[in-house]
Structure 1
Amino acid sequence: MTPPTPPRRRHRRKLGAAALALALAASLAACSSADAPSPSTAASASGPVTLQVWTWNLKGGDPEAEAIIAKYHQENPNVTIKLSEVGGTSDTASKLLAADKAGDTPDVVQLEYRAVPAMVVSGAVKDITADVASVKSGIDPNIWALTTFNNQVYGVPQDIGPMALTYRKDLFDKYGIKVPSTWAEYAKAAEQIRKKDPDAYIASFAANQLEFFAAQATQAGAQWWSTDGNAWKVGIDSEPSLKTADFWEDLVKRDLVKVEPLLTPEWNAQVNKGKILSWAAAAWAPSVIYSVAPDTAGKWETAPLPQWTPGNPAVPFLGGSAYLVPAKSKHAKEAAAFAAWLGASDEGSKLQLTLDIYPGGNAGRQATLTHEPPKLMPQQKDFYQVTDQVIKNTTIPVTWGPNVNIAQSAFGDALNKAALDKTSFRAVYQATQQAVVADLQKSGYTVTK
C-alpha cells in the first residue's frame, strides 16, 4: 500500500478548487526534481565530490562504519563521504529545516520514518523516484511504502523494526505461562505473573513512547493521521484507537504493568533481576536489552507480537530510519546513488548487518537467515526466521502527520500522569486529538472528520 502525498498547507487567501489543485501541484513540483537533472549534477559529474552525510548509525571512527565507507569509496573513487552526527530524529529534523532555510544543507540525511511526511510537506527533501528506479527490486514494497507518497519516493529505507514480543522464556516456563498470541492472552499472562511473583510484571508501561501507542492503534484498525484528498484526517480519538487506550488503562489500574519509563536505572535493574519479563517492541529490542542486562543472555526469546484480532498476524513497523536527499543538496545525484547503494543494493544491505541493525534491503534480510541470533538469545536459532515472517506480515502502514511533535508534547506527560493518578486514558487521547487538529488548522492545513 502506498500512502498518498501528504497534503500541504492551504494558502491563507481563499482559492477555488481548480486554483488550489494547481497550487498544490506546483508546490510539489518545486520540491521534486527527480525527472530533471539539477544544475549541480552536471557540474559534479566531471570531477570529485564530497558528500556531507548526517547520520547516527554510521559513526565516524567506528570500525564497522569506516569499513562500509571505505568499500563505497573503493567502488566510487570520485566520491568522498564525510560523516556527521547531529543528534536523533527531532534534532536532525529541526537542523535540516534550518539548513534548508539558510540554503546550506547536507547531501544525505538519516531520519526516522515518522519524520518523513513533515520533511516532504515542507519541501526540504527531494523526490528521488527516478534515482532509485534501478534498485526498487532490492526492497520489498511494504518497506518502500515507509518513504513513498503518491508513488513518489523520498528516501531509501535503511533499517526497519518488525514488531515482536521479546520475553524471559526461562521465567515464563518456570511459572507455567503460555506465550500470548493475542492481547487478551497477554492480559491473562500479566495476571499470572503477578500471582507467581508479587514483585514481577509482564512489562513496564512507558507513557512517553508515542510510536508504540500509535502502532498499537494501527494494529487495532485505526490511523492516527491519514490523508483525504488535499486534507488531513486525525484518528487519535477514533474508537479502535480508544479501545487500545482502554486495554492499557485496565492493566495499569489493576497493577499488572509497572509504570516506569524505559531504560532508566530502575528499569535496567528490574530487567536484570527478572522482575520485568517482556518488552513488546521490535526486532531491535534484544540488542537494547543486552546492552543493559548482558548477564541475562540465554534466558530470552522472541515471538510474534500478540494480535488484537485472533488469526490476523498483520502488524506495523515500529521505528527504523531512511536516508533522504535534501532538496538543496549540492550533489543530489551522487547523494541518491549513495543512499540507494547503502539501503537497497545487495552489498550495502548486507554490510548493514555489521552495524547491529535490521536491514530493510532484501539481501540484508536474506543474510539474517544464516546469521547468528542476537547475543541476548544465542540459543534461539530461529530468531531471524521468526522476525522475517513478521516482516512478510507487516502490511499495515503507519501514516505520520506533519505535527508529530505536537502529539508528543500533548500525549506523553498527560498519559504518564493519567497512569500514576489512575485517571482516564481516553481523555488523554481525546485531548491529544484536539491539540493535533487545532495545530494543523492553525498551520493552514485543511482537516476533515
Structure 2
Amino acid sequence: MLSGCSSAAESSSDGPVTLEFWTYSLKGGDPAAEAIIDTYEKANPGVTIKLSEVGGTAETSSKLLAADRANETPDVVQVEYRALPSLVVAGVVKDITADVADSKDAVDENVWELTTLNEQVYGVPQDIGPMMFTYRADLFEQYGAKVPTTWAEYAEAAAVIRAADPTAYIASFSATQFEFFAAHAAQAGAEWWTNDGESWTVGIDSEESLATADYWQDLVDRDLVIVEPLLTPEWNAQVNSGKILSWAAASWVPSVIYSVAPDTAGKWESAPLPQWTPGDAAVSFQGGSTFLVPEKSKNAKAAAEFAAWLGASDEGSELLLSLDIYPGGNAGREATLTADPPKLMPQQTDFYAVADQVITDTTIPVTWGPNVNVAQTALGDALNAAALNKESFRDVYKATQATVVEDLETQGYTVSE
C-alpha cells in the first residue's frame, strides 16, 4: 500500500539544471543558508538551487498535493517525518532507495527508519529530535527536587516543587503536544499506527497507551502541572519568572526556550527523558524533518543527489549545524560533540554527549498513519477540554481511536482489529 510508483521523471543531473527547493530551514537571505547553497553550487557547476520558503508541514503538504495535481511540483521538499506516510500513500513522493544507496552508511539505521516505509526510502533525513528533559537546574536544587530519571520520579519532583513554591509548576500540560503523547505512549509499549503492507492497525486506545493517559490525568487532577498551551504570552512569562521549571520534549527545546527567555540562560540543563520502565532507556525521536523528491519532479535524479548531499554527506550534514538544528547525518552528529552547547545552557559542556547517548537509545520506531492530521485535531481539542474540565483522558484517547479508525475506513483503507 505504501510502495508508491516508480518515478516517471528520471532526468539526468548532467547539464544545467535549476532545482526548486521548498524549505523552512534554509531561508533566503540567511547567511548560513546562503553559504550552504553556494557550497553545493560551486561543487556542482550547472546546478542552481532556488530556495522557496514555505510554512509548516500542513501547509507544505497541501501545497505539494495541489502542485502534484497541476503537474507543477518542485524538485526537493522539506516536510516533518509525520507527514511522509500520507504523501507516500497519495503517490506524490518518489522512492529514492536506489538514489541514496551510496549514502546508507552515512546515517544510522534508526534515523533512516524515519523515512523508510516497507523497506523503501522516501526521503533523506535532515534533522532529528532526540528526546530530553530540559529543566531549571538552579530551582530544582533550591527546592530540593531530584532530577527525574523515571516518570514516577517526575511526579515526585512535581509534588516537591509545588510544596516548595505554591506558585510554581514542574511543567505545563499542553494538549497540543501530539507528537510527545505519541512518543510517551511508545515508551510504554504502545503503537498508535502499524501497517503490514495490506492493512492498518490503530492502537491509540491500547492499554499501554491508556496508561500514559492515566499518568497525565493524575498530574492534572492533583494540580502538579499547569494546564497552559506552550509558547503563549502567559507561558512565556511563567518561564521567564521561574514558575514553569521544565519541558520534556526533544533537543530543540533549549533553542525555543532561549528565544522567549534569553535572560534565563545559564540556569538550565538537559538530561535524558525520564524512563517509563526503570532501567529501560529506549525512546523514540520527537520532531525533525526530511528532504523528499516529488514523484513528478522534472529533475528527480539531480534532486536526489542534492538531498543526499545536504542530509547525509559529511560536508552537508556538518553545514546543517550552522542552522541551529540537530543533523541526522553521522558527520553532523559527530561534529556536535565538539560544538558549543546551546546558548540556553552554556555551562553544560556535556549537552551534546548526553544527546548522543539518547540517540543511541532511540530504538523505538514510531509509525505515523496516513491520517495523522485527523488524530492530532481529535486528540488535541478534546484533551484540552478534558484537562480544563477534569474529564476522563481515557475517554478522549478512546474517542480519538474511533475517529481515526472511522476516517481510515472512509478513505478506503483496510483496518485490522
Q: Show the counterpart of 1:409.
A: 377
Structure 1 residue 85: Cα displacement: 1.2
Residue 103 of structure 1: SS of its match in structure 2?
A: coil
CA distance in 2 between partners of 1:177 and 1:210 (Å): 27
Deviation at 1:86, TM superposition (A): 1.8
**Aligned counterpart, 1:238:** 206
C-alpha displacement of 1:177: 1.2
What is the aligned partner in structure 2 of residue 424 from structure 1?
A: 392
**SS of residue matched to 1:130:** coil
**d(CA) in 2 for partners of 1:133, 1:417:** 47
Q: 1:247 to 1:39 in 2, by over 3 A?
A: closer
Aligned length: 417
What are the within-5 Å matches in structure 2 for residues 27-426 of structure 1?
28=3, 31-33=5-7, 40-42=10-12, 45=14, 47-426=15-394
Deviation at 1:442, TM superposition (A): 0.5
Quick check: 1:228–1:448 contact (8 Å CA) kept in 2? no
Same amino acid, percent of matched pairs: 73
Provide the C-alpha distance between the structure 2 equivalents of 1:292 and 1:244, rounded to a whole number of angstroms: 29
TM-score under structure 2 length normalisation: 0.99
8 Å contact kept, 2:9–2:300: no
Distance 1:422 1:320 in 2: 33
- Deviation digits for residues 322-345 of structure 1, max 9, x if unmatched? 000000000000000010000000
Report the alpha carbon displacement of residue 106 of structure 1 after superposing the two structures with TM: 0.4
CA RMSD of aligned residues (A): 0.9
Mapped pair 1:435 → 2:403: yes
Compute the TM-score of the two structures, normalised by the length of structure 1.
Answer: 0.92
Amino acid at match of 1:104: E
SS of corresponding position for 2:243: coil
Letter in 2 for 1:212: F
Equivalent-residue separation in structure 1 for 2:378 and 2:335 (angstroms): 41
8 Å contact 2:9–2:297 — kept in the other structure? no
After superposition, give the CA deviation of every residue in 1:340-388 in whole Å (9 maximum; x if it has no partner). Answer: 0000000000000000000000000000000000000000000000000
- After TM superposition, give the deviation of residue 150 of structure 1 in Å: 1.9
Shift of residue 228, structure 1, vs aligned partner: 3.1
Segment of structure 1 superposing worse, 320-329 or 406-415: 406-415
Deviations 1:265-312 (A, max 9, x none): 000000000000000010000000000000000000000000110000
Uncovered stretches (5+) of structure 1, i.e. residues with no partner? 1-6, 9-27
Structure 2: distance between partners of 1:233 and 1:89: 24
Give structure 1 regions of 4+ aligned residues with deviation exceeding 6 angstroms: none
Deviation of 1:405 after TM superposition, in Å, equals: 1.1
Structure 2 match to 1:21: none
* Alignment check: 8 A CA contact 2:118 2:197 kept: no
**SS of the residue aligned with 2:103?**
helix
Which stretches in structure 2 are left out of the alignment for 5+ residues? none
